[in-house]
Chain A
Amino acid sequence: EDQVTQSPEALRLQEGESSSLNCSYTVSGLRGLFWYRQDPGKGPEFLFTLYSAGEEKEKERLKATLTKKESFLHITAPKPEDSATYLCAVQAAKSGNTPLVFGKGTRLSVIA
């Protein structure tokens, strides 16, 4: 069974205090690993797709990396507007439009 575990469940940072969020996964052949941002009362907003171990993607203060067992979302010098829940999801390499399997997310609070 495909599984995603995210840690920590919640993280509180001071503005400018860099940190990393972890996503551990088991999947029967990885098609892609996805990071989403979710604000309260909103749907998941797509951030990154990672396809293979060693790959990195960057967007503003966020950088996502991937190994064969886990992914990290590094947040550099965060600002209060980065406060959100960050979701990790995997898609298995099967035929067709296979569904995403999500973790519970990390709730990030950045304090000014």
Chain B
Amino acid sequence: EPEVTQTPSHQVTQMGQEVILRCVPISNHLYFYWYRQILGQKVEFLVSFYNNEISEKSEIFDDQFSVERPDGSNFTLKIRSTKLEDSAMYFCASSPGTGNQPQHFGDGTRLSIL
């Protein structure tokens, strides 16, 4: 069964450094998302992406964050200058289309900021 894959599974970074989290969505999906989950809290939406541009973003997704689809398969989330509060699990998701088609999630990248 096709799945969303994310790398790395765990990233440890010094505060102020840049990180890039990578995702390979399911191949025939058109819509891509990033969510994050701080330990013990809800899964929160960051950004959605379609047709090579951002569709919607939350208040969390400020100027320190950016997303890119550098080629036909990868989808990346970059945090330019990490803060301690960026420590969380980051999940990538994809869906075939809009409407009420379910979003399928990867197993996440655990980001630890020291």
Q: Are A and B genuine complex partners? A: yes
Docked complex: B75-114 residues within 8 A CB-CB of A: 91, 93, 95, 97-100, 102-108, 110
From B45, B98, B107, contact of A43 by CB (8 A) = B107
Please tell me the size bucket of the interface on A.
20 to 34
By the criterion CB–CB under 8 Å, are A43 and B91 in contact? Answer: yes
Specify which chain A residues have a CB less than 8 angstroms from the CB of B31 in the assembled complex.
Answer: 97
Say whether, besides A41-B107, A43-B107, A99-B56, A51 and B100 are in contact (CB < 8 Å): yes
- Interface size of B by CB at 8 A reads 30
Minimum CB distance partner of B9 in chain A: A41
Q: Do A44 and B98 touch across chains, with their CB atoms under 8 A apart?
A: no
Query: Closest residue of chain B to A39, judged by CB?
Result: B107
Kindly report which residue of chain A lies nearest to residue B98, judged by CB atoms: A97
Specify which of B42, B98, B99 is in contact with A104 (CB 8 Å cutoff).
B42
Q: Does B55 contact A (CB under 8 A)?
A: yes
B44 to chain A, nearest CB (A): 8
Contact A43 B50 (CB under 8 A): no
Q: Are A99 and B33 in contact (CB-based, < 8 A)?
A: yes
Those of A46-63 within 8 Å (CB) of chain B:
46, 49, 51
Within 8 A of A (CB), among B16-67: 31, 33, 35, 41-45, 48, 50, 55-56, 58
A-side contacts of B110, CB under 8 Å: 41
Q: In the docked arrangement, what's the CA distance between A36 and B37, Å?
A: 15
**Contact in complex: B108, A43 (CB < 8 Å):** yes
Segment 24-76 of A: residues with Cβ below 8 Å from B: 31-32, 34, 36, 41-46, 49, 51
Q: Are B102 and A34 in contact (CB under 8 A)?
A: yes
Q: Hey, which chain B residues are within 8 Å of A97, CB to CB?
A: 31, 33, 48, 50, 55-56, 95, 97-98
Top-3 shortest CB links A-B:
A32-B100, A43-B105, A99-B45
Q: List 26 A-B contacts (CB under 8 A).
A: A31-B99, A36-B105, A41-B107, A41-B110, A43-B4, A43-B105, A44-B43, A44-B105, A49-B102, A51-B100, A89-B43, A96-B48, A96-B56, A97-B31, A97-B48, A97-B50, A97-B55, A97-B98, A98-B98, A99-B48, A100-B45, A100-B103, A102-B42, A102-B43, A103-B42, A104-B42
